[in-house]
Structure 1
């Protein structure tokens, strides 16, 4: 019996991964739950265990390939059987004088699910040509959307009889990409032979009447709109998207590179951005474009927190087995302030505001591969010791690249500590869909006027970035003042003041 090894669920909003390493090769014996391969996403590394004991069969997705959720990775012959060979149909060679495909033995290759809010994709590359034999789940082509690249596997074994959407074609979420013939027959006139001018931009395509009217009213030309209907037909929604995009189009995200001399070019090094870095860049820019982000500042005198920490740190370590740091104080202070200003702990969902009666605290952590934000769940119900243990454990897992997707999802508020890198003041960027993020900074001795006298105090600047669509200035300032008060007099936390 042949067991399929497929891509596991990668987490919310993650639709693809890259096969990083195979630990087994065809013919190797494998045990149940033994690690077969490792996948890399733009956020975490995922290990794929064996679903059964047996012998490693075919490896469908080689190292370096990009695969979607539930895509076939490999097969296992249960009980030590020899790996099942590819379907005979996949091994058939197309005949030169093959007739047109009959309707009874063909399988349509459709656009797979592209993900929430994604309605179209562009065919970027075909890995097979008309007449090529294909095995089931073998990659046929790659689609590009505005979010991810999606590889399309063959739904059945056979011969690629027809390509309906050539490279460069824009297709909607229900479009047909190709036809596979199980008998090996090839279509008489494959679409792959068509020229680019005969694709979705053909003048013979009749746009929806409502779209024509919308384009005329908005003063938008046909070439400014990308059609998502069948064969590239422009629909009314496409016009609305084009108008909205034109209205909100920012300046170019990056100026084109200027001329580079041959001497300078020889001393440059070009390295492709990692998936994680690309995702970080996109999410941060999306945050700026979506939220009405504003930052308010204050400063806190860390004298009392530092004195309390110095007094009890040895006893704390002896009893709880973890060091007493500043993060538990800040987490407690934020939880205290969020109770008074709940909109900072809320999020916008369409036209609704969702208030959270709990605090899942995100703690931003720098790692060798980029910034990640593990989440401390129900931080509002945790002790100082539990918070410190959770932060230490998740921080170590983050540095080792072992955080799961679940550990980085569901946060309601975030704390970012730039002070560990020496930052004196900065404006943190929101972590969508959250409405607030607190920026901590370097503790620096500064002269302060205290009761009419100038004294030196350990001071820290605090920054609260917030979404002004849901949080008013009064609420933001109140939140930051409550955090300041709790840290300058930690006894307030014990008395819930």
Structure 2
């Protein structure tokens, strides 16, 4: 019996998505709940599982197509013999009369010794660009699939004299351009990237953005981490990072300056007696902002576990719409990429975002003497329509003082 696989309900107010990847080919055998299609919505990538066990006989969509909730994605013949590999799979593809087999072949993995390995368009481009053999790379994505970061890391290892195998198969797929020839590539923006672009530009168009800066002596936090990191990891099974300190410091600031934790809705200001912190996380398809809910009530261990879980699931592409819903304040850490200073853009409808940057030793004056301290620039971008300069500076100063004297976070000062 043939079963249709349809686009599932994607979340509140989300009615359509784009086809990001076809995770299987026509003729592949699939098990119940095995992902076959990856959808890209405005915020997350969603994998659509097979509702039955059988063999894929047809795909109704192609990569890049826009589909609505309820649209048919594929057709699966239930109870078929496992024909994902070997001659039976080949015959299944050859029997298609509508040209789907050509598309299936085109989407097959490039330069891989494992026929079941499926490369996303982004990964395939990275393979060809860096000239590595994907069959020699261990994937860190969901179900062991390769990510773009895996390919880049492998290429770097190869360049540095690592043990990556000969990449001739991947290089052969794209002939080298003649010396001096200039090339360009046009790639359609993903739905997520389009949404990011619209939201950030909308923030600049609709809000009166202003940024205030300060610098923070990280000595106390670094000393606390050094002293307690082993005990913390042993007790809580999670690494003690910097984000937990800044999240708790932000909670102190937002409690004392509630406007920074509020937003404008029409002609009203919406205040919150809770702190839901959106944490900017880099994912293969773009920046996502999952939310640490009720951060004001959570300890360091719970916050660090939430952040680690978000980072892992962002890399795997398994964050959900619910993970991104809401948020009253955002923290973005550009320091992990080496940023010295930036003016972050708020995440609408929020009214403020805290930007963290890299830590570096700098000369500062302490008690009349020049000393070397590990310093970090921090930035607070805010909507000046709601937040006055005094409030923004005060909030950032509270964060600075809490980081420089972490005891304040323990006694709520």
How big is the shift at 1:9? Answer: 2.6
- The question of whether the paired residues in 2 share the 8 Å contact of 1:33 and 1:52 is answered with yes
Q: 1:309 to 1:30 in 2, by over 3 A?
A: closer
Change (3 A) 1:264 1:270: farther
Post-superposition shift, 1:456? 1.8
Shift of 1:403: 1.7
Alignment correspondent of 2:24: 23
1:71 CA drift (Å): 2.0
Would the aligned equivalents of 1:300 and 1:462 in 2 still touch at CA under 8 Å? yes
1:471 paired residue number:
387
Larger mean CA deviation between 371-380 and 435-444 belongs to 371-380
Which of 385, 394, 400 is matched with 2:316 structurally? 400
- Going from structure 1 to structure 2, the CA distance change for 1:463 and 1:49 (only over 3 Å counts) comes to same
Shift of 1:297: 1.0
- 1:379 corresponds in structure 2 to 295
Distance 1:315 1:42, change over 3 A: same
Shift of 1:14: 4.3
CA–CA distance in 1 between the matches of 2:179 and 2:268? 54
Q: Which residue of 2 aligns with 1:49?
A: 49
How far is the alpha carbon of 1:268 from its aligned partner? 2.8
User: 1:327 is matched with which residue?
Assistant: 243
Rounded to whole Å, the distance in 2 between the matches of 1:73 and 1:305 is 51
Deviation at 1:282, TM superposition (A): 2.1
Deviation at 1:329, TM superposition (A): 0.2
Q: Deviations over 1:30-80 (max 9, x none)?
A: 654343322233543211123456675654334442212232324557788
Counterpart of 1:272 (choices 187, 196, 207) is 187
Give the match's secondary structure for 2:239.
Answer: coil
Larger Rg: 1
- Selected match of 1:291 from 187, 199, 207: 207
1:303 aligns with 2:303: no
| Equivalent position to 1:422, from 338, 354, 359 | 338
Alignment check: 8 A CA contact 1:21 1:39 kept: no
Name the CA distance, whole Å, in 2 between partners of 1:31 and 1:324: 40
Which one has more relative contact order, counting CA pairs under 8 Å at least 6 apart? 2
Q: Which residue of 1 aligns with 2:145?
A: none
Secondary structure of 2:216's counterpart equals strand
Give the SS at the match of 1:442: strand
Cα displacement (A) at 1:362: 1.2
What are structure 1's unaligned runs of at least 5 residues? 81-262
- Total equivalences in the alignment: 314
User: Which deviates further from its counterpart, 304-313 or 402-411?
Assistant: 402-411
> In structure 2, what is the Cα distance between the partners aligned to 1:63 and 1:292?
39
Farther-moved stretch of structure 1 (451-460 vs 47-56): 47-56
**TM-score between the two structures when normalised by the length of structure 1:** 0.58
Q: Which residue of 2 aligns with 1:251?
A: none
Change (3 A) 1:270 1:54: closer
Q: Is the 8 A contact 1:42 1:274 kept in 2?
A: no
- Return 5+ residue gaps in structure 2 as ranges: 81-177
Over 6 Å off, 4+ runs: 77-80
Residue of structure 1 in register with 2:229 after alignment: 313
Q: Counterpart of 1:459?
A: 375
1:493 is displaced (CA, Å) by 0.6
Aligned partners of 2:183, 2:77: CA distance in 1, in Å?
49
SS in 2 for 1:323: coil
CA–CA separation in structure 2 for the residues paired with 1:428 and 1:284: 10
TM-score, normalization by structure 2? 0.69
List per-residue Cα deviations over 1:19-39 (Å, max 9, x = no partner): 32053647x776543433222
Separation in structure 1 between the aligned mates of residue 185 and residue 29 of structure 2, nearest angstrom: 41
Partners of 1:13 and 1:305 lie apart in 2 by 42
